[in-house]
Structure 1
Amino acid sequence: MLLDKYKGIIPAFYACYDESGEISPERIKLLANHLYEKGVQGLYVGGSSGECIYQNLEERKATLKYVSESLKGKLTLIAHVGAPSTKESVELAKYAEELGYDALSAIPPIYFKLPESSIEKYWTEIMDSTELPFIIYNIPQTTGYNLSINLLTKLLKNDKLIGVKNSSMPVMDIERFKAAAPEEFIVFNGPDEQYVSGRLIGADSGIGGTYGVMPELFLKAEEFVVAGNFSEARKIQRDINDIIIALCSLNGSMYSTIKEIYKLRGINIGSVRGPLEPVSGEDLGKIEIIKNMIDVAKQKFGIEN
């Protein structure tokens, strides 16, 4: 079944920079292979966690290229191609197809408040530009647009639309999208804080920005959900949420905190690109505490790797 290819834990891939803040091929491949070895089912490349809106077209292409060189054929690879213009989005989409990506995805157009007809045209032009399946990325808290059932119904007439990555906070949105679509339609849970509840109300899979720093915990949460062990699923979600709150509690970007944790593990993928701020000052001393929270949670649930 088509759906099976997209089930499981799919981390949103982090931007990888060298010490000068430029895209690092070596660090991209290092992170890609690290996540592959953790046993995740796929990667979502070039989205929010990839700092896409702070990178130019050539930098985004480079990230797509080096991830593909590392993992094409080993994992499900989804390329996020949303960009400021339709022209750039289509260019990225065609490039991802050339690289052998399994599917495309895109946020709606950003900055201008556009009528729904413009959003429909934007996503349709991306879908029509390649032969790859397409996944809508619904994240209203950053884009200002929340996917309507009316637009979803219209877009479902295009056979290339196979799913929605839903990052709106109401869990009910997942259920409504599932109810409005054919059985084979895929809904990905977006907010990491509600992974378990999202899965129970109908999400088929998950794509998340904190999966990469604690893939073992999300893989175990998925294991509990599939087994119907909801008591343990709730417990691990509680620990995950405690960690997410801690990740967001420091004076820099959450992604900077995540990258500092990676450095403590011996994996350097650089810092963040401005205007995102790195963790600094006294908060740097708190990084190890958060890393230890992840390690303790892994031990609690019998996770060895």
Structure 2
Amino acid sequence: MDLEKFKGVFPALYACYDDDGEVSQERTRELCYYLYKKGVQGLYVGGSSGECIYQTLEERKLTLKVVSEALKGKLILIAHVGAPSTRDSIILAKYAESLGYDALSSIPPIYFKLPENSIYRYWTEIMDSTELPFFIYNIPQTTGYNLSIDLFKKLITNKHVKGVKNSSMPVLDIERFKAAVNEDDIIVFNGPDEQFVAGRLMGADSGIGGTYGVMPELFLKAEEFISTGRLKEATIIQAAINDIIIALCSLNGSMYSAIKEVLKLNGLNIGGVRSPMDPISGDDLEKVKTIKTLIDNTIDKYKAM
């Protein structure tokens, strides 16, 4: 299988709601077209940025459907299908396959602390339910499980596994996953946006991130710098990106709420966030304007480089 199509910058798609807090088909389409026009290589649909844990199965299926209708054949689409039960995960996996998605991905099972044999069975049953390629999603800071090299080596023998979306913070993990197999046989996506450049330099082939959607220009430029060997410029733009991420996380509400407020100021209203995540309110709304200006100025600074 040609894995080249999975290389590049893949924004994790945000959940899009109407003014009543219901999943909005219209606003989902608008966000899809907005990101497509920015020049990203693909989208990661239904993950953390999509607020998957706070949505019903039918809401998640609706989002998968709308994104496929908007961008199938235009961008590479990866469906995150992780759910609390294996049953629901398989339902989502088969549905994504029927819609023409290019690949699947999933976090490990959540809430209960399960032994590795249970985690292995969970992922294996999902990946064997379709013929699509599968990317393991390792995000220990939210799931409580850090993918071990031993389990990775066991999973990689499955014909469907084509790599891992690694969101653990140590870039060493990226290097270790690549070293565990022939590096040409898998794709490793860098997860933490704060280390996009470091992750790429340590062997990540691509990036999937939750802040890409609010500043895709900067991650595309960072990828350009890396691909053309301009490593000094790449590290400088990473520092600028990190300043923005820190600002987005400095408010009282959810980072995703801050991102959606910035997008709203850009003329793209995709609603708020779903409780228990908090909205941005009060004095923080004025701070969002400052963050938008910071993003705009940073994009302008690097646009011509």
Report the TM-score when normalising by structure 1: 0.99
Question: Where in structure 1 are there 5+ consecutive unaligned residues?
Answer: none
Matches within 5 A, 1:221-300: 221-300=222-301
Structure 1 equivalent of residue 144 of structure 2: 144
Residue 189, structure 1, aligned to residue 190, structure 2: yes
CA distance in 2, matches of 1:299, 1:271: 27
Unaligned runs of 5+ in 2: none
Name 2:177's counterpart in structure 1.
Answer: 177
CA distance in 2, matches of 1:32, 1:278: 23
Ranges of 4+ aligned residues in structure 1 off by more than 4 Å: none
- Counterpart AA for 2:68: S
Matches within 5 A, 1:30-179: 30-179=30-179
Q: CA deviation at 1:69?
A: 0.4
Q: How does 1:191-230 map to 2 (within 5 A)?
A: 191-230=192-231
TM superposition shift of 1:40: 0.1
Q: Distance in 1 between matches of 2:169 and 2:60?
A: 27
Aligned to 1:4: 4
Paired letter, 1:170? P
- Contact preservation (8 Å) 1:93, 1:104: yes
Which amino acid in 1 is paired with 2:249?
A: C
Counterpart in 1 of 2:23? Answer: 23
Letter in 2 for 1:261: V
Deviation at 1:147, TM superposition (A): 0.3
Task: Give the Å deviation of 1:303.
Answer: 5.2
Q: Is the 8 A contact 1:255 1:272 kept in 2?
A: yes
Partner-residue secondary structure (3-state), 1:19: coil
1:84-111 Cα offsets, whole Å, 9 max, x none, are 0000000000000000000000000000
Partner secondary structure for residue 79 of structure 1: strand
- Could you give the per-residue CA deviations for residues 22-56 of structure 1, whole angstroms, max 9, x where no partner exists? 00000000000000000000000000000000000
- CA distances 1:199-248 after superposition (whole Å, capped 9, x unpaired): 00100000000000000000000000001001100110000000000000
1:31, 1:300 → 2: CA distance?
A: 25
For residues 89 and 19 of structure 2, what CA distance do their matches in structure 1 show? 29
- Tell me the CA shift for residue 302 of structure 1: 2.4
Q: What CA distance in whole angstroms lies between the structure 2 residues aligned with 1:302 and 1:210?
A: 18
Q: Retained in 2: the 8 A contact 1:192–1:209?
A: yes
Distance of 2:152 and 2:232 partners within structure 1: 34
CA contact 1:169–1:191 (8 Å) conserved in 2: yes
**Do the aligned partners of 1:216 and 1:303 also contact (CA within 8 Å) in 2?**
no
Question: Counterpart amino acid of 1:39?
Answer: G
What one-letter code is carried by the residue in structure 2 that aligns with 1:24?
A: S
Confirm or deny: 8 A CA contact 1:54 1:273 kept in the other structure.
yes
User: Which segment is superposed worse, 158-167 or 175-184?
Assistant: 175-184
Cα distance between partner residues in 2 of 1:288 and 1:57: 35
CA distance in 2, matches of 1:156, 1:7: 19
| Residue pair 1:256, 1:271 contacting (<8 A) in 2 also | yes
Identify if the C-alpha distance between structure 1 residues 244 and 153 changes in structure 2 by more than 3 Å, giving closer, same or farther: same
TM superposition shift of 1:181:
2.0
Aligned to 2:110, the other structure's residue is in SS state coil
In the alignment, the residues of structure 2 paired with residue 259 and residue 44 of structure 1 have an alpha-carbon distance, to the nearest angstrom, of 17
CA distance in 2, matches of 1:26, 1:94: 24
Cα RMSD between the aligned structures?
0.9
Bigger drift between 107-116 and 180-189 goes to 180-189
Superposition deviation, residue 292 in structure 1: 0.7
TM-aligned CA deviation for residue 127 of structure 1: 0.7
Look up the equivalent residue of 1:281 and give its one-letter code. G
Structure 1 residues 3-12 or 294-303, which shifts more? 294-303
Q: String of CA shifts for 1:80-137, please: whole Å, max 9, x gaps.
A: 0000000000000000000000000000000000000000000000011000000000
Q: What is the one-letter code of the residue matched to 1:103? A: A
Equivalent residue pairs, number: 304
Deviations 1:263-303 (A, max 9, x none): 10111000000000000111111111001111111111125
Write the distance in 2 (CA, Å) between the matches of 1:245 and 1:44: 23
